[in-house]
Chains A and B, each alone.
Chain A
């Protein structure tokens, strides 16, 4: 197959999966590279998605399944791009595939190997709110439904002690502790980068008490706490104490000033959280401490109007710097300045910090590996950024989704679809016939 018939997509979130499926439909061969052992991205952490509060799994699982079953998409999990060589239209992309230690073709996902594994560690995918074994899938319903062995914690692989429990438990001989990392070279005409974003580190603002008080949560921690396939099976209880919160403060715009931009989605997920809380804890008091209300889609204001007053009390917070979360003995105290600049205080059991979306921590490395530029904020740079573009600073490499900047799922999908359009046009232009035709045109 010639170069321009194949495309590498980096990142298997909503944007990367959508792009891959479209390219496959267009008859291209797709290599989908994902660092995690599973695909789905940030969306599968959320039980329900704004604005229609649809079940995210119902939205995304058919897409994940179609990706995994497509004969034209090679899904490479636990993989990362190491380098890229060659020129536009004729790239050689080097991908490092870390050993999974479980053969995907042989494993049927029965889960018999988890129980016998003697190692339990915090499950980072569950934001460390639950535990997993050294051989694990991040959560029930993961796709591909095939475990991976974490070599750092596995007794045998880490050399700590002999163990063969999972190998023995698997009736299918799917566990292969001799599996090796592997490096592959992929010939591709174009690359789409859809690696998503990271989250602002809430602990960098000590006045907010994250990491200090168990009742202070990040957005994804809260998403997992609410999720029925999450570590508490959807029960909203505070870590360590197990207490059901009666009063909850959701604090908007955390990190907006530090990052220098509004993320455009945190207001919405903060309102979604107010809805979640009322749904599960109808008696609870919820407060949204906000500044600007950013509801930039035609349907978002309605969502906001639907929770304001009924699900949450909207409290204007005029200064993030002056907001302080502290302990009041039994729970937490939030002190803030109201609209008139007067100091106010509320007692709560739980605080959710709606933090900014920031560049993914791997973005720098990936930018170097791919030889593409980032903008001043650290997101991948697109040409002519202000007008519209999904082209990176290197010809043949395109950017989609929150890798380019904070945005909601809809905008991530739109960008992915646009990137596919550009990739197809670009590959078309790389064809030798196209070059000849262009030369003809120029002559005429």
Chain B
């Protein structure tokens, strides 16, 4: 199989949980500037990145996501004060859990993208989908032993 074919074969499925106040606004800005962004990403809007808990992340992996991007305000910018700080703490723990499950921790990425960073949003998403493409499909997708 040539590299080209392989690429065509595997379009990763990425779920992006975006904070309503910052990153979702950056995605809008990227959109209105018509930047090209990988279709691999599906955006799910949440009010704060802190709402994204372990269960939601694990369920998303079990349901077959090849990668998850959680993106919110820069540390210290949270609309609700400390939400993204807690998100960051939880995410460190989850990376360990993922390793135990045989999932590469890089499949979960936490990024800070603020509302005026439309270009950065596009770069972050595109780079992440390249990374996931290189990692290949989610190894636990469809496994029922969990």
Contacts and interface: CB of A to CB of B under 8 A. Distances in A.
Interface stretch (A12-20, A172-180, A227-235): A227-235
A55 B115 contact: yes
Given A53-B76, A61-B25, A62-B21, A140 B114 contact: no
A234 B115 CA distance: 14
Contacts, number: 59
B115 A54 contact: no
Contacts of A57: 25, 114-116
A109 interface: yes
B76 A228 contact: no
Interface residues of B, number: 18
Interface of B: 21-22, 25, 29, 32-33, 73-74, 76-77, 79, 114-120
B73 A55 contact: yes
Contacts of A145: 32
B114 A55 contact: yes
B79 A140 contact: no
Interface string A112-139: 0000000000000000000000000000
Contacts of B21: 58, 62
A177 B99 CA distance: 62
A141 B118 contact: yes
A229 B32 contact: no
Interface string A222-244: 00000111000110000000000
29 contacts: A47-B116, A52-B76, A53-B74, A55-B73, A55-B114, A56-B116, A57-B114, A57-B115, A58-B22, A58-B25, A58-B79, A58-B114, A58-B115, A58-B116, A61-B25, A61-B115, A62-B21, A109-B32, A140-B29, A140-B118, A141-B32, A141-B115, A141-B116, A228-B119, A228-B120, A229-B116, A229-B118, A233-B119, A234-B119
B118 A55 contact: no
A111 interface: yes
A294 B11 CA distance: 56
B76 A54 contact: yes
B82 to A, nearest CB: 13
Nearest to A44: B116
A340 B124 CA distance: 50
Given A140-B118, A141-B116, A54 B77 contact: yes
A268 to B, nearest CB: 17
Nearest to A56: B116
Given A62-B21, A141-B116, A229 B29 contact: yes
B80 to A, nearest CB: 12
A246 to B, nearest CB: 24
The residue among B79, B114, B115, B116 with the most chain A CB atoms within 10 A of its own CB is B116
Contacts of B115: 55, 57-58, 61, 141
Contacts of A47: 116
A261 B4 CA distance: 67
A234 B119 CA distance: 10
